[in-house]
Structure 1
Amino acid sequence: MKILFGMYLDGVPWSNKPASMGEVRTGPLGLMSILETQLGLSGAAVHPVKRIDEYMKRIAQIDHNSAWFHKSFAVDPWSTARQLLNWRDELIENGWKGTNESSASPRLKSLADLENVPVKLSRGYADRLRDIIRELEQNSKVQITSIQLIEPVEMLPPAWQHLFRQLQNQGINIDLYQEAADGEPNSNLALTQAVLRGAYEPGTFSLQDDSLILLKADNEWEAAEHLALWLSCQPEANKQVTIICSNDTHVLDQALKRHGLPCLGRSEASPWREVQQVLPLIIANAWNPVDIHILVELLSLSESPFPNWICRTLLKAINQEPGVGGKAWNDALEEIMAKRKKELEEKDDPQNEEKARAYIKEINSLLVEERYEPADGIPEENLRKRCQKVIDWLGWKLETDPMLVEVVGQARQLQELSLGKGKIPRNTLERMLDTIIGAGSYAGDICEEAAPWQVVDHPGQVIDQCSEIIWWGFNNPMTKPPTYWTAQERKDLLAAGVRIEKSMDFRRRESNAWRQGFLHAEKRFIGIYIAQIDGEEVFHHPFWDMICYAAAKAGRNLSGGDVQAFIVRECKDFYSRKEWEFAGRQKALESVPKQKPLELIAIHNVPPSVIKAPSQLSYSQMSTMIACPMKWALQYHAGLRLSESQTVPSSNQMLGTLCHRIVEELYSSGQRWDPDDAAAKAGLLYDNLLPSMAS
């Protein structure tokens, strides 16, 4: 087997040839899988949430008032366990044996104490890597002929450097991947690439040369239209195009569709997709006091725990009285029970009334009665019951909606995690749920379509020469910084044979990957920087500055302003021309025909019989009528209004409804009140009505 290895090559095609055998392109995860298979170390994958739970049990075993982590663990045990486990895994990956013989660091002492707690900890990425290294150190053989490295071995993380040394000791040929020979620096792009390669050959930049372009767009829509137009100009030439894209492409895909081109189909994982809200909202509605807005969110889901007609009935009641347990809520339950009873009667069910009452009890139990104090926590059996509710109502839909499989799996994981925990406080449960859901799910209706161009997720995946490279979303990648270890901790660890990678080395490897993608462009490189995404300003990619610096140096020490003129373009400068021309492609643009706006009508006359004089007007109706008579007519007479979930009273409106009800109760009693008695009674009514009318 011949392997081409790079730190960013996980997920790329195994070969770039039409047919190949025994050749593999892979990254760390792929190579680990190959080595584990050959060494007999393969095992079932373990979700991170299980390992955090196991480590939390270790911490609980040795926790005491003077423990280094005690205060954090007392406030947020789950997050504390997750952070300590991350530190432990980083040390294990780099050869730590789980001991601390000389360091005075309380962090290292605590981690060493935890490593010796007799509680099982499942293998993670770091443990798997160290198991492979241990097997190789014992001279266990693997069937690999050669390995070519994209990055120099000294640029790899310390653990991987050690692994490749062990493979080399077995006689496996390991060398650096040989790139194609450099061409003549005869273009703006080639001159800049020469500087980045270290071959400084000052030349002359040309304003007519469009081989190197840094394109700035004000927003995603402008950038997407520009790129889609460029790709549509010469469809036959797109076979030579490679697109670097790691961001969501839903805006770009729309522009590509308008121009008759295939979609890139990239979507970002998100925990906020509707399908991912089912389990969190079921859990969020288990706490006191009732938060009516969270209850409304649960009832508004397309995959709600109850049929849509029941949710609409309950939402209508909440719209009248924003709370639970009041007159409107109980009337809604009576209406639901009557309809449920009728359905059962039509099926000749002799127990129709008992089953209808049991159904109402189930609704009230889940949404109102079974609630717990956040600090005390929810009993584990009741948590599993709620998770089972999710599994039961979604389970039969799995074949029609594959995205629900993930939600059902998350509910089962939460059930498993809850075993043996007694009561789980809200804070811990929410952290557990965040870890289970993780980054979230991808959009189920977006997929990559067959296209002539090649798409990669990272510039480090560009390892073959490409005619034209487009870097879509040439923005700041916002990578997570490495763990901070003090100088003394690093010194103590190094004395124990543990070499932690420095932040500078991590950044150097990252920068090398950016450079690698850029250097493989033969004819043209276009970096598209989007200044605003979702209305928020973002910075350009750090490599933008590196390119500008290299270009200034290559072009006989050009000034910053000169570099801007030679290689930086703005999308808005291209749309005032009839003949659109950009980066070697051109197209005639057609002017959009002018549209005469519809004449505004200030007054609409309707027959008196259509809108009759109201017998009574509420404050809300009067306010609407004075502010906008058209809105008043459409809302109160034509029946056009927002859904119940969008019109739940809040703030002043909620308080106004509550106060009206208190006054109504006082007057409906028929009693004549003196001011002191009225105030006392109003206070009692306020306390009694608050949960049902202003939750």
Structure 2
Amino acid sequence: MDGAVVGPAGLLDILATRLGLGGPRVPPVVRIATWQRKLEAAAVDTSRFWSASMASDGWATARQLLSWRDALVEAGWSPERLVAPPARLADLAAAELVGPILPGGREDLLREVILAIEGGAAIDIDLLECVEDINLLGPGWNRLVRAVEAAGTAVRPVATSAPVDVSTDIGRLHHYLLTGQRTPFIGDGTVCDVSAVSAIAAAECVAEWLASEIEAGATGDAVVIVPSGDSSLLDQALTRRGTPLLGLSPASSFRGALQVLSLSFAVAWTPMDPGKLRELLLLPRPPIRRWAARILARALTKEPGLGGPAWQLAWEQIETRLREEAADTGDGQASCKATAEVASTLDRWRAWTNGGRYDRKTGMPAPDAIALCRRVHDWAIDLDAGGRDPLLLCVVGAARALVEALEALGHSPVTALQIDRMIDQTIAEGLPDPARHAQEGRLRAVNDPGALWGAAHRVVWWDFTGSASSSPRFPWSAREGAALDAAGCCPERPDAQRRREASHWQSAALNARSLVLVRPALDRGSEAGPHPFFQQLHPVLDRAPGAPSIGFAAERLFVEERLPLAAREVVRSSSVAVALPSAQAAWDLPPTLSQRAQDAERRESATSFDDLLTCQLRWILKHLVGLRAGGARGIPKPEQLLGNLAHAVAQAAFRPGEVPDPTIVRPRAVLALDDLLPRIAAPLLLPGHASELAFARQRIPDALASLSDILARGRFAIEGMEVEHEQDFDIVQVASRIDLVVRGPDGRRAIVDLKWTENGATAHRDKLAEGRAIQLATYSRLVEPDGAGAPAGYYLLRQQRLLAEAGSPLAHEAITVSRSLADTWDAMVEDSARLTALAKKGRGIAAGIPGAHEHLPEDLAFTAGAKTCAYCDMTRLCRSASVG
């Protein structure tokens, strides 16, 4: 009654409130921005020790020096405290006295509270019990406690329970920690050292033991120390056993809504990174309606850039849907209002995606940066709609803090580096997972050993590995430290911080009545070293001769049904092993798929023919079911981007009519390439792709100029680029888009299929030679459905080679073939009809599975090759990924 259990910050808040010194907390980013201005003001006419660092990275310098300044203030420093101070301390004092007023931080409030109490202000606190040794507190906090005591408050250490009797192992441990005298353990289970190869095995072991404790009706609470603050792995194991969850979640700045602020700025810089815009659109709660965000994300996947055909089509689809939603509006006045709302919505959504407007080095005008922050701020408030969502409120606070920091900084424009640092600082504290909560039960968790200051029946020290927490480096030289000591305002040195941390470890062990130390050797693939406290305990962990071992290997849980662990017997029963599904060559299809295969309106393409003849089940999954690999939503790799870019540049360089001279094609291609890059292949403009981009700038215009020279010498004329062709062949309907259709001097049409491939010259040559050029055969028959079809060939852009079968007017590099394109088409039609018939009968055949040939029709012209499954996205569905 009439008491509170608080940490240092809580005590300071109570005292500040009673003294009338409290106020709104100023975000650290605002204080750093203000301090940077003070540092700049102090260095206007005089060179300071930070001048060179400020010129390189002003924000990082200001942040570091502010931490030094705050540590000094906490220890009692003020600009007038030192007489004739060393140069660096004199420079800091100069910065403190010029420029704008620095908003106070916790250290300033601590200083004000101490001065107020020492000045006689009443605090009306009767008793202050300290969990920690007062002598181990930092200088400022030590002085605060002494000031409270001098003001009439009784100050004493918190009452601690007596050590356990040495008749038990935990008592022997207590005796060792207090006296240094070692007594061999007897293995009574009150101290247990659990080792595990992996953290998963360790979590299973701890969960089993805690569940057995609860089932046995053990009295008292169990406390789990989780130093990382993340109990997710333990909670998963506890959930499987129906025990309460610990619910600890570390604060993270990478939670969905918190990324809107940083991604909005990341998109604004040029060259624009389509990957960042895609991340923004695919957030769990994107800044525009989710269905619209998904449409734009798909457009970026197809053509990563802004303003390309896919991007424009995406916005047309969004506008159409918005108009359809607003169509049923009643009278004409309401209809006009709905039209205006659609236009307003589109403008608001486009503002989130108008990227690539500001140069990273030149920077963004501060008013524009503030406007962007306010857009994020307003979005979060609108989305929250009074729901008090912790994550959205954190976004609101971060956006507001960044606005204040930009105003306090007083710079315009602000560079990308500066804004990135400011955003990192703004969201640095992050937020724990709002969905994670501790559940009611006799399990509690703390993330610091020092938080355990009372007796606990059972203590589980999870992840008892690693090193001590890193202490800030003491930045002052011996001369500077001596000057600070003489003035009574020297900050705490790292060795004092380490002593305080070691006292926390010892306090946790002394408060335990049963102690389980859990030491996984690996955690997330990283090797974990021994904890410093374990090294201190190691001499006393020896057991008496003949006594049970206190060590326990967690992996024993997976091979033994009954085993003793920490004074309990853990009982596990073996589960019946269930074999994983194995690969199979033949599959029975549901009737709905058989009906789709019988659909007379269904169309095939060159791609679907290739899938059908390569693997019938792949064709079923991709073209009848409509499955697509999830990875397709990613930004294409540079090689694919170069291919897409080369096709688009070719479409701009070649126009229907006479083949232009190479001297005309090359400059056309150069101009088109520069225009198309930010619209359909923007990732190539990013740092890291300079070599690929330089190669493309040279090779694509040269390749197209070479192609124009080849076509001109053959006296071809261009009929069309990216031409859609469709044909009904009675037994099957076929439709495809063809790269380049030309017409020879005899009036006969021919097809050139453009390929951008690094190592594919041999593969395409072999396809022609072996009669497996399915794509060319399909195009050939689409363009000239009668007779032997149109001549067709591959043009390899990287290699500047035009491959065609011998005797073809396109045969710049003639290939002797075993089966002509006309014969290839006939074989394709026959094989596809037989394979489609299998699907109509409800059979799917996975060609890459051993034994598939037994289920396929005999004498197929196209048989599965050794690499049938190598580039397939469906191998986990047909389970061929498990073969071999």
TM-score greater than 0.5 by the shorter chain: yes
- 1:489 aligned residue (480, 489, 494): 480
Give the alignment partner of residue 397 of structure 1, picking from 372, 375, 383. 383
Task: Tell me the distance in 1 between the aligned counterparts of 2:631 and 2:293.
Answer: 10
- Residue 30 of structure 1 is matched in structure 2 by 10
Deviation, structure 1 residue 446: 0.9
Shift of 1:92: 0.9
Moved more, 661-670 or 510-519: 661-670
Which residues of 2 match residues 185-200 of structure 1 at below 5 A?
185-198=166-179, 200=181
Q: Deviations over 1:58-86 (max 9, x none)?
A: 12212348332122222322222111111
Which of 303, 307, 331 pairs up with 1:321? 303
Q: Which residue of 2 aligns with 1:350?
A: 336
Counterpart residue number, 2:505: 514
Amino acid at match of 2:420: E
Query: What residue identity is the alignment partner of 2:456?
Result: C
Q: Distance in 2 between matches of 1:665 and 1:487?
A: 71
Letter of the aligned partner of 2:364 in structure 1? I
CA offsets 1:558-583 (integer angstroms, 9 cap, x no match): 9xxx99x8433220123321213211
> Deviation per CA, 1:108-139, whole angstroms, max 9, x where unpaired?
23211111114211221111111122123223
Q: Which residue of the other structure, out of 638, 643, 647, is the alignment partner of 1:656?
A: 643
The offset of 1:674, in angstroms, is: 3.8
1:604 positional shift? 4.4
The answer on whether the counterparts of 1:574 and 1:581 sit within 8 Å (CA) in structure 2 is no
| Deviations 1:303-353, CA, capped at 9 Å, x for gaps | 222222322222232232221112222222233333334444432422666
SS in 1 for 2:223: strand
Q: Corresponding residue for 2:35?
A: 55
Q: Following superposition of structure 1 onto structure 2, how do residues 426-465 of structure 1 map, counting pairs within 5 Å? A: 426-465=416-455
The alignment's TM-score, normalised by the length of structure 2, stands at 0.70
Query: Whose relative contact order is higher, 1 or 2, with alpha carbons under 8 Å and at least 6 apart?
Result: 1
Matched residue type, 2:22: S
SS in 2 for 1:648: coil
Deviations 1:604-629 (A, max 9, x none): 487794698944239xx96x789976
Q: Deviations over 1:129-162 (max 9, x none)?
A: 1112212322333323333333333222122232
Does residue 401 of structure 2 align to residue 413 of structure 1?
A: yes
2:470 corresponds to 1:480: yes
**Which region of structure 1 is more displaced relative to structure 2, 208-217 or 126-135?**
208-217
CA shift in 2, pair 1:418/1:551, >3 Å: same
* Alpha-carbon distance in 2 for matches of 1:76, 1:457: 35
Deviation by residue 1:4-26 (Cα, 9 ceiling, x = unmatched): xxxxxxxxxxxxxxxxx233333
Uncovered stretches (5+) of structure 2, i.e. residues with no partner: 683-884
Q: How does 1:156-235 map to 2 (within 5 A)?
A: 156-198=137-179, 200=181, 202-206=182-186, 208-235=187-214
TM-superposed deviation, 1:267:
0.5
CA distance in structure 1 between the partners assigned to 2:150 and 2:344 by the alignment? 71
The one-letter code of the counterpart of 1:646 is R
Matches of 2:2 and 2:180, distance apart in 1:
36
Contact (CA 8 Å) 2:235, 2:246: kept in 1 or not?
Answer: yes
Q: Secondary structure at the match of 1:455?
A: strand
The residue matched to 1:394 in structure 2 has which SS? helix
Distance 2:54 2:615 in 1: 56
The answer to whether the 8 A contact 1:300-1:645 is kept is no
- For 1:209-288, what aligned pairs fall within 5 Å after superposition? 209-235=188-214, 236-237=217-218, 239-246=220-227, 247-288=229-270
Is 1:570 matched with 2:563?
no
TM-score (normalised: structure 1): 0.88
Please give the per-residue CA displacement for 1:194-218, whole angstroms capped at 9, x wherever unaligned: 1110252x43433x43221121223
1:593 to 570, 576, 585: 576
Q: Would the alpha carbon gap of residues 568 and 261 (structure 1) be closer, same or farther in structure 2, given more than 3 Å must change? A: same
Q: 2:675 aligns with which of 663, 685, 688?
A: 688
Counterpart amino acid of residue 382 in structure 1: D
Higher mean Cα deviation, 409-418 or 609-618? 609-618
CA distance in structure 1 between the aligned counterparts of 2:152 and 2:197, rounded to whole angstroms: 55
Equivalent position SS for 2:646: helix
CA distance in 2, matches of 1:353, 1:143: 65
Describe the shift of the 1:549–1:677 C-alpha distance in structure 2 as closer, same or farther (beyond 3 A). Answer: farther
Work out the CA distance in 2 between the residues paired with 1:63 and 1:72: 12
- Cα distance change, pair 396–364 in 1 and its aligned pair in 2 (3 A): closer
Q: Displacement, 1:602?
A: 2.4
Computing the radius of gyration from Cα coordinates, the structure with the larger value is: 2
**Alignment pair present for 1:290 and 2:272:** yes
What SS class does the counterpart of residue 26 from structure 1 fall into?
coil
Residue of structure 2 aligned with 1:308, choices 290, 309, 325: 290
> Secondary structure of the residue that 1:530 maps to in structure 2?
strand
Residue matched to 2:92? 111
Change in CA separation of 1:142 and 1:123 when aligned onto 2, cut-off 3 Å? same
Write the distance in 2 (CA, Å) between the matches of 1:377 and 1:581: 65
Unaligned runs of 5+ in 1: 1-20
**Could you say what secondary structure the match of 1:423 adopts?**
coil
CA distance in 1, matches of 2:223, 2:317: 61
Cα 1:358–1:261 shift into 2, 3 Å: closer
Q: Is the 8 A contact 2:652 2:668 kept in 1?
A: no
Q: Which moved more, 1:425-434 or 1:60-69?
A: 60-69
Alignment equivalent of 1:147, drawn from 128, 132, 141: 128
Identity %: 29
Q: Contact 1:243/1:455 (CA < 8 Å) preserved in 2?
A: yes
Q: Would you say the 8 A contact 1:270–1:439 is kept in 2?
A: yes
Within the candidate set 588, 602, 607, 1:617 is matched to 607
**Structure 1 residues 282 and 595: alpha-carbon distance in aligned structure 2, compared to 1, 3 A threshold:** same
Q: Secondary structure at the match of 2:445?
A: strand
